A and B are shown apart, each in its own frame.
Chain A
Amino acid sequence: DAGITQSPRHKVTETGTPVTLRCHQTENHRYMYWYRQDPGHGLRLIHYSYGVKDTDKGEVSDGYSVSRSKTEDFLLTLESATSSQTSVYFCAISEQGSDNQPQHFGDGTRLSIL
């Protein structure tokens, strides 16, 4: 399995608090992604990164920010968490190269906003 570690794996917090989720990879892959998964919606892309300090928005980026200061780490921040951001968050990575490099996913972070 691809070396992807998400932390924390579970978190419960209150509305209005800041939350940061971390994705750490040991594969030296160029591309990293953050998804959220909710019942009835499948996985939806929040933000992605195509290199250090290079990021772009995905389908559901409102309320989220990301940072990538080094290749191996991609951080997802909820500046002021809301109950609608209760979800399971997945990080994924893919290798630089041809367009058909598959994405490899972490095991997810279950986030509950009360």
Chain B
Amino acid sequence: LAKTTQPISMDSYEGQEVNITCSHNNIATNDYITWYQQFPSQGPRFIIQGYKTKVTNEVASLFIPADRKSSTLSLPRVSLSDTAVYYCLVGKSSGYSTLTFGKGTMLLVSP
């Protein structure tokens, strides 16, 4: 399974753009990159997923360079409610294969 490395914690202020970078040097050809968000006392929640280039949805953007050895989750104009742990995962989301969750990045958004 591809291992991921991401910062343990990040701080930001309301209204700022936050970029969380994840390294996955041994990503396999058929692996996807998936980000989850987790609030205290809740299960992780799917945010975004991509394979290459850029993916955008109503919550975030995901930037993946051509070599796919890293990816960046971009949260535009964060609010206090974006304070959470963000997990970067590499692999197949469903089916017979399984995902490995790392320790994630604790994002703290302050007023």
Contact = CB atoms under 8 A, between A and B. Distances in A.
B69 interface: no
Contacts of B34: 100, 102
Interface residues of B, number: 25
A33 B34 CA distance: 17
Interface stretch (A13-21, A72-80, A104-112): A104-112
A17 to B, nearest CB: 25
A43 B98 contact: no
Contact of B94 (A41, A44, A100): A100
Interface in B84-111: 87, 92-104
Contacts of A52: none
Interface string A50-94: 100000101100000000000000000000000000000010101
B98 A58 contact: yes
Interface in B30-61: 30, 32, 34, 41-46, 49, 51
Contacts of B41: 107-108
Interface in B48-80: 49, 51
A33 B93 contact: no
Interface residues of A, number: 31
B101 A42 contact: yes
Nearest to B98: A45
Given A43-B44, A107-B43, A100 B93 contact: yes
A55 B95 CA distance: 12
A42 B103 contact: yes
Contacts of B93: 94, 99-103
A94 B43 CA distance: 14
Contact of A90 (B30, B43, B87, B95): B43
Given A98-B94, A102-B49, 8 more contacts: A42-B102, A43-B101, A90-B44, A94-B94, A99-B93, A100-B32, A106-B43, A107-B41
